[in-house]
Structure 1
Amino acid sequence: MKVIPWTMIAFEQPTTKAYLENLYQNGYVFEKIIVLLHPKWFGQYNAMIQSRQKHLEEIADLIATHTKIKIPYFERLDFSKYSSNIEVIDEFQFYPDALLDALDPNVQYFFSYLGVVPERFLKKAKWLHVHGGLMPPLRGSVCMYWGLLYRGKPGYTLFWQTEKIDEGKILYQDESDEDLPDLSNLSKGIELETLRIGIWYFDLYVRSKLLVDYFNGGCQEKVYSHAQIKEFAYPDRVFFVEHKEIAKFCLTKFFHYNGWQD
């Protein structure tokens, strides 16, 4: 296995699982993983999953068939599979003081969670993240949908995080040519929110694929030029959670779900 010279900050949730499993299947492990969050978090997450489990597993099985990789979204992880150096910080909060104390300014940290890393953590060490949109100008939340609406395919960006939302130095970015999963054979009457959660699994798989492409290419920089970005005619703005009608439109048009019953 090839060792990625970063420390992953591993919140045990779907984003982390997508990165770790896809990288592992392609021959990569992290130099170190710092595992965060008390098992209570997994219990709360599981409660949400169990309330939607039948349909989420149906969607996940379809995506696994499409991508040829089975990501353990509904299981506890054995982190030792993905690194020989594991540190556990057993505190029930997302950014505990114990993590701040553990940070080494000489180490590069890969951030798998969604959101913004607090400034005090950014000041102590360097943090990398894969954003689910082509930066700039697609910044903020759920940019997979906006990429589909503007370009017919999503784009992704590996970058150094700063205190500003999705404005750090870009290392690697690309639009995905991965065929989108066809949801036309899913059960009818699946709730919109369940579909949104379910298709997020595919979004995470493609994010992890970008990271694999980056390492397979020898970590060579790939950044879209200003002229290329101008041709996209994107509005340069920060997007937030999409309106439910936009999500429904994208799931119908691009993923071919036709089982709506509302």
Structure 2
Amino acid sequence: MEFISILANSSRSQAYLQTLVKNKIFPNKVIILDDQDKKKLGKFNNVDYTKLNKVYKFEAAQMNPRETLIETLNKHNIKFDTVMNPDINSDELFSIISKSKIKLALVSVYAGQILREKILTLKKYYLHIHGGILPEYRGSTTMYYSLLASNTVGASAIFLNKGIDTGDIVCTKEYKATFGSELLDLIFDPLIRADVLINALKKLKSNNYQVNQQQNNVGEDYFVIHPVLKHIAILRKNQC
């Protein structure tokens, strides 16, 4: 199955790419959105590298935090371009993907970005793995809300549209929170999404796959969780 990958320089993208090659699934091309190290959210810093000195595994996913995107790409001879613009809606990215005949694009971009009309006119399928079970948990930091509600986490593979987490659902998967939730943001959120990514690609590879259209009146919209609630979610999970 042919697909391209549009990847921000983030821990999530590292987990996606390393998990793909672990499962012998290789994108035809990768496009890296280079933020010139201006963005910090969702990235490892030097302190993280010191602490996170092993390979983390979860279901079909795995990630070595110390292995960069470029290192993984070069190790496996995967073709890639670098766009010196972090915005998925940039003219630079549009110029590259508009020339590609490949219809499926895996998207792992910086937080808060929504596809605009121009890039949607290309009629490609933009595959995104949302960190929450849809349609119940739309919005931001939903894994923490799920931890508070049921001590579970999950992710959903969807085709992006112009809404926020409202695209057609390819598949979802829920997990018991059996890991250290203090590592959720940088390690297990990316790994959970990467595991669902593998499930989604396997489903899309079949010729008779079906997607589920979301109903607007089902589910809740969540916003960035308050630090106190986040701390409670971590404590509650660790006491279970």
Residue 82 of structure 2 is matched in structure 1 by 88
Residue 54 of structure 1 is matched in structure 2 by 47
d(CA) in 2 for partners of 1:123, 1:83: 31
Residue 143 of structure 1 is matched in structure 2 by 142
Alignment partner of 2:192 out of 200, 206, 209: 206
Deviation per residue, 1:11-54 (Å, 9 max, x gap): 1111110100112112211111112215x22x7649x854xx43
d(CA) in 2 for partners of 1:125, 1:225: 17
- Decide whether the 8 Å contact of 2:55 with 2:64 is kept in 1: no
Residue 102 of structure 1 is matched in structure 2 by 96
Q: 1:72, CA displacement in angstroms?
A: 2.8
- Decide whether the 8 Å contact of 1:154 with 1:175 is kept in 2: yes
Which protein is bigger by CA-based radius of gyration?
Answer: 1
- Decide whether the 8 Å contact of 1:109 with 1:125 is kept in 2: no
Q: Does 1:24 align with 2:24?
A: no
d(CA) in 2 for partners of 1:65, 1:155: 16
Residue 167 of structure 1 is matched in structure 2 by 166
Note the aligned Cα RMSD (angstroms). Answer: 3.4
- Decide whether the 8 Å contact of 2:158 with 2:167 is kept in 1: yes
1:1-262 matches, within 5 Å, as: 4-37=1-34, 40-41=36-37, 45=40, 49-50=44-45, 53-54=46-47, 57-58=50-51, 60-61=52-53, 64=56, 69-72=62-65, 75=68, 77-78=70-71, 79-81=73-75, 84-91=78-85, 93=87, 95-104=89-98, 106=101, 107-113=103-109, 114-115=111-112, 116-126=114-124, 127-177=126-176, 179-182=177-180, 195=182, 199-216=185-202, 219=205, 221=209, 236-256=219-239
TM-score relative to the length of structure 2: 0.78
Q: 1:255, CA displacement in angstroms?
A: 3.5
d(CA) in 2 for partners of 1:139, 1:213: 20
d(CA) in 2 for partners of 1:172, 1:132: 12
d(CA) in 2 for partners of 1:21, 1:92: 21
Amino acid at match of 1:254: K
Residue 192 of structure 1 is matched in structure 2 by none
Deviation per residue, 1:79-122 (Å, 9 max, x gap): 23456332222346554211112223742211112332233222
Amino acid at match of 2:108: S
Deviation per residue, 1:205-257 (Å, 9 max, x gap): 1100111233455746587899xx9xxxxx82211100111100111111459
Q: 1:71, CA displacement in angstroms?
A: 2.3
d(CA) in 2 for partners of 1:65, 1:213: 16
Identity of aligned residues (%): 20
Q: 1:143, CA displacement in angstroms?
A: 1.0
- Structure 2 gap segments, 5+ residues each: none
Q: 1:145, CA displacement in angstroms?
A: 1.0
Give the aligned length: 228
